[in-house]
């Protein structure tokens, strides 16, 4: 690895030079099945023909101007996203953390416009919202925050999936202006809430005039079986953040707003130099078109069920399994012990996986994965988990 690169990542001993579909090749020509999609980024896999063609065409036409001027592709993307989500308008940036920063700024301005001097945003334990100073403060993981104190004021924390905790906040904190949560907590080990949790959060937000802000940076763009995870619950948030799968590897994030929240930001309140440039918007438009045209959200739901069922069958009575969890192609297998070692073991077998929250094997495969590739992923992974658990017993 290049020693001139800042030492911010614990990297695995492999470097990829080529990708096609659900497969990657390293510098020695070894082939790997991608069960992670660059952490939910490459939903259409690698070197997808539609994305490659669109990017080459756009690069030969116009890559960047500035948000000082109108950007027709940005307007087109905003129209597509609002049509698909039921939201009203969009702010474009480069990442999920930036999208969440925009949401946090909307909440604070919204609070001040209501006359609240110290607006407070409710966030959840075990959440992940990014690594900028405000978003790492919102994140419910002490490891992410450690060493970066003083953190940002203005956040109150509750247990995820505990509506009574949120009701207690409502009774005791009159400075609350918004709730920021993930429809499925990803980094803490793929944790969907109870079926009625988001609807109850929506109702509480309505009752107290709070903004309901959903972080769909990982769950959005077809990953959970719907274009957006909130669409499983027949609700619409006030603020919605997206990134990862939106550009299929081209950096882009967006903060969508609805109702009162859509009117909060005005010229001069917020901005982004690169956000929503023609290249990124062309990529995102192609992603959305491909997902809709090929019904890939529905495919994610069916494929997720297949993988979870086959994993549970293959692992059988394997001791050490705590729980299987998932929604679409966000899949977690929680073990009763730290299992980071499995990432390296899978790599040696030509399979890319991830471990979240130390004890959960996390799978985020491309939405285009075939049944045969999904079965191969399970056939490779299940024996590794069985061997790992039996060795440690």
Cα-based distances in Å from 293 to 74, 288, 297, 299: 21, 8, 10, 12
Known binding residue 215? Answer is: yes
- The answer to the question of whether 216 is labelled as a binding residue is yes
Asked whether residue 128 is marked as a ligand-binding residue, the answer is yes
Would the annotation count 355 as a binding residue?
Answer: no
Q: Check residue 317 and give its pLDDT.
A: 86
48-292: CATH, from 1.20.58.220, 3.40.640.10, 3.40.50.300, 3.40.50.20: 3.40.640.10
Q: Which residue has the higher pLDDT, 1 or 22?
A: 22
**pTM of the complete model beyond 0.85:** yes
Does the annotation flag 218 for ligand binding?
Answer: yes
Residue-wise DSSP of 1-55? --TTS-S-----S--EEEEEBTEEEETT--EEEESSHHHHT-TT-BS-HHHHHHH
Q: What's the confidence (pLDDT) of residue 3?
A: 82
Q: Which CATH class is domain 14-46+294-388?
A: alpha beta
pLDDT of amino acid 392: 52
pLDDT in tens, 97-144: 999 999 999 999 999 999 999 999 999 999 999 999 999 999 999 999
Q: Band the pLDDT of 93: cuts 50, 70, 90.
A: very high
Side by side, the strands of the sheet bearing 354-356 are 321-327, 330-335, 360-363, 354-356
Q: Is 18 marked within a binding site?
A: no
Q: Where are the domains of the chain?
A: 14-46+294-388, 48-292
Catalytic residue annotation = 128, 215, 244
- 164 pLDDT higher than 80: yes
Mean pLDDT score across all residues of the chain: 97
pLDDT of residue 1 exceeding 80? no
pLDDT per residue as tens digits for the range 11-65? 999 999 999 999 999 999 999 999 999 999 999 999 999 999 999 999 999 999 9
What is the average pLDDT across 334-346? 97
């Amino acid at each position: 690895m290049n020693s001139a690169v800042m030492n911010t990542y614990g990297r695995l001993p492999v470097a990829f030079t080529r990708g096609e579909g659900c497969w990657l090749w390293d510098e020695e020509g070894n082939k790997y099945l991608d069960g992670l999609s660059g952490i939910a980024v490459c939903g259409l896999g690698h070197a997808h023909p539609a994305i490659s063609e669109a990017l080459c065409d756009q690069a030969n036409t116009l890559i960047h101007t500035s948000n000082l001027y109108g950007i027709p592709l940005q307007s087109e993307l905003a129209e597509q996203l609002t049509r698909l989500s039921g939201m009203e308008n969009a702010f474009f940036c480069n990442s999920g953390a930036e999208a969440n920063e925009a949401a946090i700024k909307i909440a604070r301005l919204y609070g001040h416009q209501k006359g609240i001097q110290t607006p407070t945003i409710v966030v959840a334990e075990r959440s992940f919202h990014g690594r900028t100073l405000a978003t790492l403060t919102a994140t419910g993981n002490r490891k992410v925050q450690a060493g970066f104190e003083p953190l940002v004021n203005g956040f109150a924390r509750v247990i995820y999936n505990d509506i009574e905790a949120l009701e207690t906040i409502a009774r005791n904190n009159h400075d609350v202006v918004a709730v920021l949560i993930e429809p499925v907590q990803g980094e803490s080990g793929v944790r969907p809430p109870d079926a009625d949790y988001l609807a109850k959060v929506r109702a509480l937000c309505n009752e107290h005039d709070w903004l309901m802000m959903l972080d769909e940076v990982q769950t959005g763009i077809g990953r959970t079986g719907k274009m957006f995870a909130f669409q499983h619950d027949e609700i619409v948030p006030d603020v919605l953040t997206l990134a990862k799968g939106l550009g299929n590897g081209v950096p882009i994030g967006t903060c969508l707003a609805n109702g009162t929240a859509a009117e909060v930001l005005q010229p001069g309140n917020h901005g982004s130099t690169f956000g929503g440039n023609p290249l990124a918007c062309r990529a995102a438009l192609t992603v959305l078109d491909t997902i809709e045209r090929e019904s890939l959200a529905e495919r994610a739901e069916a494929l997720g069920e297949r993988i979870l069922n086959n994993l549970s069958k293959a692992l059988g009575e394997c001791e050490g399994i705590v729980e299987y969890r998932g929604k679409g192609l966000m899949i977690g297998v929680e073990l009763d012990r730290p299992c980071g070692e499995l990432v390296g073991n899978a790599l040696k077998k030509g399979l890319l996986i991830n471990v979240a929250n130390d004890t959960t094997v996390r799978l985020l495969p491309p939405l285009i994965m075939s049944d045969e590739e999904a079965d191969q992923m399970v056939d490779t992974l299940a024996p590794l988990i069985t061997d790992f658990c039996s060795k440690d017993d």
